[in-house]
């Protein structure tokens, strides 16, 4: 998986935020400095499970001054933003998906929806205490005729998504919009809800603090498991893949 990449076509790094880029602010600043120096070789996009308002607060409070990703994907792949504008070709897919009806049905079954800030068009999110309860909800949605995909992660997070949505689908759409083939994408992440990104990307980086739920299922032939944690692990992976040079001694 090593070796310098000589093509003039850039790579797109699509990175999760929480516990992937966050965790050590100094290391994040170093990663951003290296990416700025190699802006013609590697571009960075963020891809978070959280909705835009929550991510914007993290960018303001935590990220280095002047940090400018080429795009921000939020809401588990239901929102793509370039600068301050949402990408219409992506957002239009979710206008008619019945997110509010999904929330009404699931809450009527006795489960709590996450706070409004965690809901988007194309995604309905709930606190569900176990896989058995999640399966019960999904079966009810199927019986009611809803079209959806789902992700159950952590100890109690159930996300119901429009069928076209997902972190991986959003990454494919973004890469196509930027005119880059998927073979020149690199995913970086730490948890099970990054698995779809890893499977879709040309290459992948699991940071050193990645959870077992990702490490046990990631595609090993194209994934580098970094020794370093958080942003330092992302930088380590980019160097290992030959997309960034080693730092000068």
Q: In the chain, what are the domain boundaries? A: 11-92+165-240, 98-161
Residues of the chain with pLDDT under 50: 3, 249
Q: How far is CA 6 from CA 13, 41, 108, 204, 234, in A?
A: 17, 10, 56, 19, 20
Q: Which superfamily does 11-92+165-240 belong to?
A: HAD superfamily/HAD-like (3.40.50.1000)
Decide: 171 and 47 in contact? Cβ < 8 Å.
Answer: yes
pLDDT score of 249: 46
pLDDT score of 8: 74
| CATH, domain range 98-161 | 3.90.1070.10
pLDDT score of 5: 54
The model carries a pTM of 0.89
Question: pLDDT tens digits, residue range 86-102?
Answer: 999 999 999 999 999 99
pLDDT score of 248: 56
pLDDT score of 155: 80
Q: What are phi and psi of 48, to 5 degrees?
A: -120, 150
């Amino acid at each position: 998986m090593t070796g310098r990449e000589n093509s003039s076509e850039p790579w797109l790094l699509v990175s999760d935020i929480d516990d992937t880029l966050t965790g050590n602010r100094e290391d994040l600043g170093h990663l951003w400095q290296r990416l700025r120096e190699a802006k013609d070789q590697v571009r960075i996009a963020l891809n978070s499970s959280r909705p835009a308002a929550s991510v914007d607060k993290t960018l303001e409070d935590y990220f280095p001054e002047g940090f400018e990703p080429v795009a921000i994907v939020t809401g588990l792949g239901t929102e793509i933003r370039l600068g301050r504008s949402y990408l219409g070709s992506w957002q239009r897919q979710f206008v008619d998906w019945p997110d509010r009806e999904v929330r009404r049905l699931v809450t009527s079954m006795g489960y709590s929806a996450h706070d409004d800030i965690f809901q988007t068009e194309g995604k309905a999110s709930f606190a569900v205490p176990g896989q058995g309860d999640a399966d019960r909800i999904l079966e009810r949605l199927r019986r009611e005729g809803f079209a959806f995909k789902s992700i159950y992660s952590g100890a109690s997070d159930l996300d119901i998504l429009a069928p076209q949505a997902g972190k991986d689908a959003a990454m494919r759409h973004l890469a196509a919009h930027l005119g880059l083939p998927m073979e020149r994408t690199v995913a970086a992440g730490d948890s099970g809800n990054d698995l779809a990104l890893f499977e879709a990307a040309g290459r992948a980086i699991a940071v050193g603090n990645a959870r077992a739920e990702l490490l046990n299922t990631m595609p090993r032939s194209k994934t580098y498991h970094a020794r370093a944690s958080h942003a330092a692990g992302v930088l380590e992976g980019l160097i290992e893949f030959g997309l960034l040079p080693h730092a000068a001694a």
